């Protein structure tokens, strides 16, 4: 009799363990609102997009959900921007409209693991993340699994994944550190019930930078001049206590890292290709600015 009970008990354990590892992100009842900013304009950078998963489709014998995006406050117009599929014991994958697929989330992440993310919503480059901790957070009376990560090449750049919610940068922004600006997950709903809200923001939708500048846009921590430039830039920090700064290209690839820079730092950029670049400076907080090489 005892032998007959072994399989059911083992089966229950395996099923529990399988679901316990999942972040449960592929859900068609959820809606994510994300604060995004474009590098196309200095005067009007911030807006909101809404993301949801809806409708089944099959691509090369694999089952996907469609990824829909809306940019209007009424959420009346939706466009397909890609497809997602989930391997329950492994992770969530995104396939863009050009057919390129990559891993967005690795569900079975453990402490000190190195995770390779290929976010094809942004670029085809890989991003290496280190798992700093795996714990739980209490949300709406329920414990949710939380994974804290940092960028392998610059641990000052961090991300957080939460069960049911995804990345706090946005459901599609896992591994997104620099490309195009600073993303934020504003809110996440399920069947119109609020699951998550960023406490730094009053609303779940913004369409102009002036809507949030009074509480969230600070004086610049550092300045870059001349900007644009073709040969050299000077970076002037407003604080002597700067730990380091990094330079990334528009695809999020780390190009340059300087520890304990002087308050006024000159940098040769003549060797860089024409384009948009981002400087990330770390003091007690993380600060971002961009410059243009022509």
Q: Contact 275/285 with Cβ under 8 angstroms? A: no
Q: Is 20 helix (H, G, I), strand (E, B) or coil?
A: helix
pLDDT number for residue 4: 45
pLDDT, averaged per 10 consecutive residues of the chain (294 residues), comes to 42 39 90 75 66 96 97 91 93 95 95 93 79 93 94 84 96 76 87 92 76 45 88 87 83 82 92 88 79 88
DSSP string, 92-120: EEEEETTS-EEEEEETT--TT-EEEE--T
Distance in angstroms (rounded) separating the CA atoms of residues 276 and 291: 6
Pick the CATH number of 222-293 from 1.10.1060.10, 1.10.260.40, 2.60.40.2470, 3.60.15.10: 2.60.40.2470
Residue length of the chain: 294
Distance in angstroms (rounded) separating the CA atoms of residues 64 and 84: 5
pLDDT number for residue 153: 78
DSSP string, 28-56: TTEEEEEEEE-TT-SSS-EEEEEEEEEEE
Largest CA distance in the chain: 81
Distance in angstroms (rounded) separating the CA atoms of residues 143 and 136: 6
Distance in angstroms (rounded) separating the CA atoms of residues 280 and 284: 13
Q: Contact 95/67 with Cβ under 8 angstroms? A: no
Distance in angstroms (rounded) separating the CA atoms of residues 104 and 85: 10
- Nearest alpha-carbon partner for 261 in 244, 282, 248: 244
**Which two structure tokens, joined as six digits, stand for 200?**
């730094």
pTM of this prediction? Answer: 0.72
Q: Contact 114/108 with Cβ under 8 angstroms? A: no
- Nearest alpha-carbon partner for 129 in 137, 139, 119: 119
Domain segments of the chain as ranges? 9-215, 222-293
């Amino acid at each position: 009799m005892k032998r007959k009970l072994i399989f059911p008990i083992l089966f229950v354990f395996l099923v529990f363990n399988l679901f316990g590892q999942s972040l449960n992100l592929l859900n068609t009842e959820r809606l994510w609102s994300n604060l995004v900013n474009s590098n196309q304009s200095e005067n009007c950078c911030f807006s909101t997009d809404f993301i949801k998963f809806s409708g089944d489709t099959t691509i090369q014998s694999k089952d996907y959900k469609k990824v829909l995006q809306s940019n209007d406050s009424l959420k009346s117009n939706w466009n397909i921007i890609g497809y997602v599929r989930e391997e329950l014991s492994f992770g969530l994958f995104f396939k863009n409209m050009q057919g390129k697929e990559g891993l967005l989330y690795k569900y079975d992440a453990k402490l000190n693991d190195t995770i390779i993310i290929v976010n094809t919503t942004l670029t085809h480059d890989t991003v290496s993340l280190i798992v700093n901790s795996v714990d739980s957070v209490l949300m709406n009376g329920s414990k949710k699994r939380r994974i804290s990560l940092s960028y392998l090449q610059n641990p000052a750049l961090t991300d957080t994944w939460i069960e049911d919610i995804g990345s706090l940068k946005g459901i599609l922004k896992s591994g997104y550190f620099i490309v195009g600006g600073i993303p934020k997950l504003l809110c996440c709903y399920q069947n119109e019930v609020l699951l998550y809200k960023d406490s730094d923001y009053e609303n779940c939708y913004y369409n102009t930078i002036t809507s949030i500048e009074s509480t969230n846009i600070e004086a610049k921590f550092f300045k870059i001049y001349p900007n644009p430039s073709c040969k050299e830039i000077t970076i002037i920090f407003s604080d002597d206590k700067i730990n380091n700064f990094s330079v990334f290209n528009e695809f999020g690839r780390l190009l340059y890292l300087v520890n304990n820079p002087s308050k006024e730092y000159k940098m040769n950029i003549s060797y860089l290709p024409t384009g948009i670049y981002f400087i990330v400076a770390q003091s007690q907080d993380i600060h971002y600015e961009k410059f243009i090489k022509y």
